[in-house]
Structure 1
């Protein structure tokens, strides 16, 4: 199963600009005289209605032909070989490039051609050309190429390119939302993205839910061709119409919705229901099963009691597994240089965290009495929070230009205390600047114990 639904390549300038790389330096004579002019050829290769007059000595650089000529294949002594091409990605042009590379031909790989050339290189077992295709892919990942690249490298096994594609998607899915990308992303890939703590979330978890809702609509109605601005309204109208036929079921419980359950399971619902407006919206949408929400309401109520009555001061040590799987994900875009101060919405067990960006610093403040707060605040002398900050700036193609992270850390703050948590030099500052944070306000151990049913 491939990672994306197939879509015809669009004719884009970037896709047709060759990556200026030379595979190896060899004699011009080999390429011009032996390959292009076929002088002294001792073998003819026929494939896809074309033929190439080549030389066994050069073909033996290919693992495919080396095995053929040295083994017990019937073709080992033949001068005319009919190649069967079972892979539909391989075409005549790709074979021409692959054969030419054996003669030291300059390999100029256009992004729009790289999948076909990779397919030919893999079939013929041309390690050097496979490596060059991988390098070209890594350098040309964009919103238009990432899906096709991911699909092909799953097929042909280039794990390093697959990793780069996933990194690009984690960085861009939320920061640079795109209708065509939503259409192409498969359930399998979306599941990996939504489940990751490295997803570069903008705003809060509710925005991840909203993005998922839009993605699911486009999976179900791929013919929709509006703009990103129109997408959420159209999505809500469509699901509203569907609700009339639900007969009391939520959408994920219907036949149409069941394929998407595994993706929505990765939502961190505890950070959606912690905000009243978000809790109302997710209930009214009737997409997520009510049993899921009931379970999370119960979990969060125990957490509230834990914070209020059990002297809970927050995480005392880094639990990476807990942070990766259950931390609050949130983010902010700083459009230009200046001073910023904000808080992310939602109830955080009395820990009112104010975030300030000023003078190339990010400052966390535990607000208790100094500034107004819409909810209750904890008056405990000290509270701790586990966190990670990531900063990133991107070019117009979504490539991460600069990044920095604090890694996971524990911060202990007294009432109304503030502390600089990140400082960076001006060379790292390219605006717009994207800030993404992970937080854990309540240690998980006691919550698990509180939720555990007594054994009979």
Structure 2
């Protein structure tokens, strides 16, 4: 056998002998290429920014100066605790300490300050948060601590922390916090929070669990809150106005008998029994709100819309039986309603011609309905509504009003006028488990003209994602305001 080279030559494959210089050249070429790639990679690394997570200045200041107390020049003592702080931070952000350390106050030259805490709402945790806020940009406030922190912030005059407490309260209003927040907002001068609660939040919270709501309202200190609730046109009434009277009656009982702690289902029964005993003690000549016990609550009951309670026979009998409301109030209401019905039937009062918002909000009937799940519903709200039998239908995510006169049996006498007007506002709302509104819709204020048995679609919810249970609340005004000036002129002409 010949050599490998001779075999390759014999097969016609020519091969030149490998030279050592060629290998060295190729190696140098490869080395140069590698060096070039390495230089490019190094250049890229040098010019690519790198992020290293460093502790922020705020966190560093909070940890080092506040928590560790380094370089402290003032010690604050309160409620058995001590804080090593810094005058410059106290004076720049706290009006309380700025005044203390300026002028001729003795504390201006002291290194240890004993703080007196006159407010029982302030505790050590609240002071820890308040002092800590001087050293950081943001503060996390738990809803369970917001009132105590607000108290501390107000005492120390920390404007930024006060504002943050107010925003936290607005965002976390619920059944369990609403009364506590309302009282605190009044105590510490947060008018915006108080207005927010009074005008919006508790008007809807009331319907979720009104017994829980009633149990929270402190005696006398929140009479104003209940008065605003009862008089508000935005109050969600989930049946009819009579339910507002019933709730108010239970609330007054809870204020006068604070020791009561029975089951919620027995509250009305025991309240009625208690009022019955008071009625026997007072006799027939005086109602409960005219008595010494009931007098402080009279101005709250004044804001009941009694005209829509006495329109139902069963409700009117309960009002008379309870003898809580003074008879003079009822006499005035009976007269007012009688004339309103006469105008509707004999003076051809077609109802409101246009929206007078002030009159509507003050005099409209408030009623509501809870829809547990999606489906088809049709109902009417009970009571004599001035010859206007209104059927409300919820079907296929439409809400429809129908003026019922002939096609269906009517619950009471109805007007046969060709056209009737009705002023209304309809609202829908859904809540989460904490009672916070998560979905809402309204028609706004409207005047609707309906002919006999005519129906009208007032709200289309087909494109909306609805969450059940769904609460529907309506305000209605069936008759126009009494034309006092015109009537007085007619009377004068008749006399002449």
**TM-score with structure 1 setting the length:** 0.89
Contact 1:31/1:105 (8 A) holds in 2: no
1:291 aligns with 2:324: no
1:197 aligns with 2:228: no
- Residue 168 of structure 2 corresponds to 136
Distance in 2 (alpha carbons) for counterparts of 1:105 and 1:196? 40
Distance in 1 (alpha carbons) for counterparts of 2:474 and 2:213? 27
Partner secondary structure for residue 427 of structure 1: coil
1:101 aligns with 2:136: no
- Residue 121 of structure 1 corresponds to 153
Distance in 1 (alpha carbons) for counterparts of 2:122 and 2:208? 35
Contact 1:64/1:123 (8 A) holds in 2: yes
Distance in 2 (alpha carbons) for counterparts of 1:267 and 1:183? 21
Of the three residues 376, 382, 401, the one matched with 2:419 is 382
Contact 2:73/2:85 (8 A) holds in 1: yes
Of the three residues 204, 209, 213, the one matched with 2:249 is 213
Distance in 2 (alpha carbons) for counterparts of 1:37 and 1:377? 79
Of the three residues 50, 65, 73, the one matched with 1:42 is 73
Query: Aligned-pair distance for 1:244?
Result: 0.9
Give CA deviations for 1:233-262 in whole Å, capped at 9, x if unaligned.
111122122211121121111111111101
Distance in 2 (alpha carbons) for counterparts of 1:230 and 1:213? 14
Deviates more, 1:151-160 or 1:81-90: 81-90
Distance in 2 (alpha carbons) for counterparts of 1:399 and 1:204? 23
Query: Aligned-pair distance for 1:135?
Result: 2.4
Partner secondary structure for residue 388 of structure 1: strand
Query: Aligned-pair distance for 1:449?
Result: 6.4
Higher RCO (Cα < 8 Å, 6 or more apart): 1
Query: Aligned-pair distance for 1:345?
Result: 0.6
- Residue 245 of structure 1 corresponds to 281
Query: Aligned-pair distance for 1:353?
Result: 0.6
- Residue 403 of structure 2 corresponds to 366
**Cα distance change, pair 175–130 in 1 and its aligned pair in 2 (3 A):** same
Query: Aligned-pair distance for 1:221?
Result: 1.2
Query: Aligned-pair distance for 1:110?
Result: 2.3
Contact 2:421/2:478 (8 A) holds in 1: yes
Of the three residues 10, 29, 33, the one matched with 2:64 is 33
Partner secondary structure for residue 457 of structure 2: strand
Distance in 2 (alpha carbons) for counterparts of 1:453 and 1:68? 72
Structure 1 unaligned segments of length 5 or more: list them: 1-24
Query: Aligned-pair distance for 1:188?
Result: 1.6
Of the three residues 215, 218, 225, the one matched with 1:182 is 215
Bigger share in helix: 2
RMSD value, Cα:
2.2
- Residue 3 of structure 1 corresponds to none
Distance in 2 (alpha carbons) for counterparts of 1:191 and 1:142? 19
Deviates more, 1:326-335 or 1:117-126: 117-126
Contact 2:389/2:411 (8 A) holds in 1: no
Distance in 2 (alpha carbons) for counterparts of 1:236 and 1:81? 57
Distance in 2 (alpha carbons) for counterparts of 1:446 and 1:427? 42
Distance in 1 (alpha carbons) for counterparts of 2:489 and 2:307? 18
Distance in 2 (alpha carbons) for counterparts of 1:122 and 1:360? 49
Distance in 2 (alpha carbons) for counterparts of 1:452 and 1:103? 73
1:306 aligns with 2:358: no
Partner secondary structure for residue 244 of structure 1: helix
Query: Aligned-pair distance for 1:72?
Result: 4.7
Contact 1:361/1:422 (8 A) holds in 2: yes
1:274 aligns with 2:311: yes
- Residue 62 of structure 1 corresponds to 94
Of the three residues 249, 267, 271, the one matched with 1:235 is 271
